[in-house]
Chain A
Amino acid sequence: MRPDYSVLLLTTLIGAGQGLFLALFTVQLFALAGQLPAPGSHAFYVHGSLLVLALLAGGLVASFFHLGRPERAWRAAAMWRTSWLSREVIVLPALMGTVLLFGAAHLAGFRPTLFTLPSGLAIDSTLVLGTLGAMLAFALFLCTAMIYACLPFLREWSSPLTVANFTLLGGASGFTLAAAFSAWAAPEATRYIAGWAFALTLLAAVSRVATLLRNARLRPRSTPQTALGIKHPRIVQRSAGFLGGSFNTREFFHGSPERRVSAVRSAFLLLAFAAPLALLALGGPRGAAPVLTAAFLVQFAGLVAERWHFFAQARHPQNLYYQDTR
């Protein structure tokens, strides 16, 4: 498949945004439970929410460049009963709205106790909004991943690992960003967030490498024989039916030599996993803002490369009808 930069940016930006929001809310929960020094000021949540909104909005803007008719994009919310794309289109703005309210409640100090748990824990509006936002963030990971995982004949994508990857990669980049951000806004929590970011990056690396191994062993189920319904083992395409290009020869081929694909694979393994792990280990305990910022930037670049490879690696069965296209 052809990697489209609008989709690469959409999925990486909103993934980082969702991860960052989950990090903010995790900090709030742990601070509430007394497991972690509470951020000194609410600015951590307020500015953090703004950062989340900026990332989600950036992804939303990028997604419009993918559409042929962006002015009709509102129609995409119609078929949520059957289409994961439609569900994503609904959940993304819902998450943005919830994050906006979450940040606003922290900003205004609007924290009325809504109810009290039997244990005596007071549940206020930010906790409710945060829980809702966390659920929406996970729902959005699921929607985004299922857009790809639900196509059975794109076998590189059609696996529960796709859902795990989108969740863990988004979570890892979001927590790394949260670590960098907290080094500036809430230094007392940085050590903990960097630790979580390290763990998530490690988990993401495991699941992504598992996916690479799985995909390397895939045997195509569709062959020229099933595509044409002719049993003979030797079928060679002599003509695609036209000399110029077409939608089919552009949309489904990445057009890069195999060398570049494997170079991108090495690059993303290094940039998205190895380098951020080292930087997090280096800067996390000391709360070094520049090191943690570098960790996020490197990881984000690595994830864009990872998404490029995710598309390039998927082989669409329609390519069997365009065997001479590279």
Chain B
Amino acid sequence: MTQLALVIDLNVCVGCHACVTSCKEWNTSGSAGPLADTMPYGKDPSGAFFNRVQTFEVGEFPDTQTVHFPKSCLHCEDPPCVPVCPTGASYKRKEDGIVLVDYDKCIGCKYCSWACPYGARELDPVRKVMTKCTLCVDRIYDRTRPEAERKPACVLACPTSARLFGDIHDPQSQVSQAIRDNAGYALMPEWGTHPANHYLPRRRTSARIHEDELTRADNPLKVDGLLPRPPKSDPSLDDVMSW
């Protein structure tokens, strides 16, 4: 069984929102119709996004860390949003574990958004149907694209490669290894949703510096000592140049 997922490295994310804009760009121009905004250039802009990057401050000044936190549907392995849907518009695909909404069936009752503890679902303000991250299902299987481009738009856009994409049920995949090696974890484990997306924690980056490393031991100037200052009586450039 395949379970496609994103693994997001909080140690690397710089909060540039490139994934947010590329996600919006890809998903607003797809065959499913625009991912609508209301008053995008007005006073109170609003709209549906599949992916948001939030910023949190952890710790007490001066010992603080700024954590940029990208958040999208986690494609839970046991998604609470799916069984509550009265129409069957929300479903989880057997073949790859992606949780999707059938926009043609959805009646916009918003019940699934209540049933998602992560707030990953957003009602499209114009189409009035529920929308959420599709893991770019219309892109990752597109055989007209070169293999390297068959990834979600956000993964390709990330300038720091903070986003990894793959099958977390395959122990040899890049994402599984990243989760194993870097203590990847799931959000709100207390509700038993078993999110497929994982996050990699901040890691301490430190170097040990010894006292003797602060000054260069093999400095050639040190070895030879300073060059002696020439005595005043030595000929100067002036003496050579004047007749």
By the criterion CB–CB under 8 Å, are B58 and A89 in contact?
no
By the criterion CB–CB under 8 Å, are B87 and A72 in contact?
yes
Of A85, A89, A247, which is within 8 A of B113 by CB? A247
- State whether A82 and B84 are in contact (beta carbons under 8 Å apart), knowing that A154-B114, A241-B53, A321-B54 are contacts in the complex: yes
* Nearest CB in chain B to that of A243: its residue: B45
- State whether A251 and B110 are in contact (beta carbons under 8 Å apart), knowing that A244-B45, A318-B116 are contacts in the complex: yes
By the criterion CB–CB under 8 Å, are B117 and A153 in contact?
yes
* Nearest CB in chain A to that of B121: its residue: A247
Q: Using an 8 Å CB-CB cutoff, how does the interface string of A291-322 with B read, 1 for contact, 0 for none?
A: 00000000000000000000000001111011
* Nearest CB in chain B to that of A249: its residue: B46
By the criterion CB–CB under 8 Å, are A226 and B187 in contact?
yes
With an 8 Å Cβ cutoff, the count of chain B residues facing the other chain is 61
User: Could you say which of B122-130, B141-149, B159-167, B223-231 contacts chain A?
Assistant: B122-130
> In the assembled complex, which residues on chain B have CB atoms less than 8 Å from the CB atom of A67?
107-109
Of B53, B67, B110, B114, which is within 8 A of A151 by CB? B114
Residue B191 lies at the interface, judged by CB distance under 8 Å to chain A: yes
Taken together as a complex, chains A and B put the C-alpha atoms of A69 and B128 apart, in Å, by 6
User: Could you say which of A100-108, A117-125, A228-236, A268-276 contacts chain B?
Assistant: A228-236
Number of A-B contacts defined by CB within 8 Å:
169
- Within the complex, the shortest CB–CB distance from B231 to chain A, in Å, comes to 66
Taken together as a complex, chains A and B put the C-alpha atoms of A176 and B33 apart, in Å, by 51
Residue B181 lies at the interface, judged by CB distance under 8 Å to chain A: no
With an 8 Å Cβ cutoff, the count of chain A residues facing the other chain is 57
Residue A260 lies at the interface, judged by CB distance under 8 Å to chain B: no
By the criterion CB–CB under 8 Å, are B17 and A68 in contact?
no
By the criterion CB–CB under 8 Å, are A227 and B17 in contact?
no
Q: Using an 8 Å CB-CB cutoff, how does the interface string of B98-110 with A read, 1 for contact, 0 for none?
A: 0000000111111
- Within the complex, the shortest CB–CB distance from B1 to chain A, in Å, comes to 21
Q: Using an 8 Å CB-CB cutoff, how does the interface string of A69-88 with B read, 1 for contact, 0 for none?
A: 11011011111001111100
Taken together as a complex, chains A and B put the C-alpha atoms of A27 and B15 apart, in Å, by 67
Taken together as a complex, chains A and B put the C-alpha atoms of A241 and B111 apart, in Å, by 24
> In the assembled complex, which residues on chain B have CB atoms less than 8 Å from the CB atom of A219?
none
Q: Using an 8 Å CB-CB cutoff, how does the interface string of A53-73 with B read, 1 for contact, 0 for none?
A: 000000000000011111011
- Within the complex, the shortest CB–CB distance from A163 to chain B, in Å, comes to 17
- Within the complex, the shortest CB–CB distance from A57 to chain B, in Å, comes to 19
- Within the complex, the shortest CB–CB distance from B70 to chain A, in Å, comes to 9
> In the assembled complex, which residues on chain A have CB atoms less than 8 Å from the CB atom of B59?
232, 234
By the criterion CB–CB under 8 Å, are B201 and A68 in contact?
no
By the criterion CB–CB under 8 Å, are A316 and B119 in contact?
yes
By the criterion CB–CB under 8 Å, are A75 and B87 in contact?
yes
> In the assembled complex, which residues on chain A have CB atoms less than 8 Å from the CB atom of B46?
244-246
By the criterion CB–CB under 8 Å, are A317 and B188 in contact?
yes
- Within the complex, the shortest CB–CB distance from A253 to chain B, in Å, comes to 11
Which of B44, B83, B109 is the most central at the interface, judged by chain A CB atoms within 10 Å of its CB? B109
By the criterion CB–CB under 8 Å, are A78 and B86 in contact?
yes
Taken together as a complex, chains A and B put the C-alpha atoms of A248 and B233 apart, in Å, by 85
Residue B115 lies at the interface, judged by CB distance under 8 Å to chain A: yes
By the criterion CB–CB under 8 Å, are A246 and B47 in contact?
yes
- State whether A79 and B60 are in contact (beta carbons under 8 Å apart), knowing that A68-B128, A241-B53, A318-B119 are contacts in the complex: no
Within 8 A of A (CB), among B159-211: 185-191, 199, 201-202
Residue A217 lies at the interface, judged by CB distance under 8 Å to chain B: no
Taken together as a complex, chains A and B put the C-alpha atoms of A50 and B196 apart, in Å, by 52
Residue B48 lies at the interface, judged by CB distance under 8 Å to chain A: yes
By the criterion CB–CB under 8 Å, are A222 and B190 in contact?
yes
Residue A257 lies at the interface, judged by CB distance under 8 Å to chain B: no
- Within the complex, the shortest CB–CB distance from A157 to chain B, in Å, comes to 10
- Within the complex, the shortest CB–CB distance from B200 to chain A, in Å, comes to 10
By the criterion CB–CB under 8 Å, are A230 and B58 in contact?
yes
Taken together as a complex, chains A and B put the C-alpha atoms of A321 and B66 apart, in Å, by 15
- Within the complex, the shortest CB–CB distance from A145 to chain B, in Å, comes to 14
- Within the complex, the shortest CB–CB distance from A81 to chain B, in Å, comes to 9
Q: Which residues of B contact A (CB under 8 A)?
A: 17, 20, 44-49, 52-60, 66-67, 69, 71, 80, 82-89, 105-111, 113-119, 121-123, 125, 127-129, 185-191, 199, 201-202
Given contacts A67-B109, A78-B87, A151-B84, 6 further A-B contacts (CB under 8 A): A66-B109, A79-B86, A229-B186, A237-B55, A237-B57, A241-B52
Q: 4 closest pairs, A vs B, by CB?
A: A68-B108, A318-B119, A68-B128, A86-B86
29 contacts between A and B (CB under 8 A): A66-B110, A68-B123, A72-B87, A75-B88, A75-B105, A78-B87, A79-B86, A79-B88, A82-B84, A83-B86, A150-B84, A151-B80, A153-B117, A153-B191, A222-B188, A226-B188, A227-B188, A235-B58, A237-B55, A238-B57, A239-B55, A241-B52, A241-B53, A245-B46, A247-B122, A251-B113, A251-B123, A318-B118, A321-B119
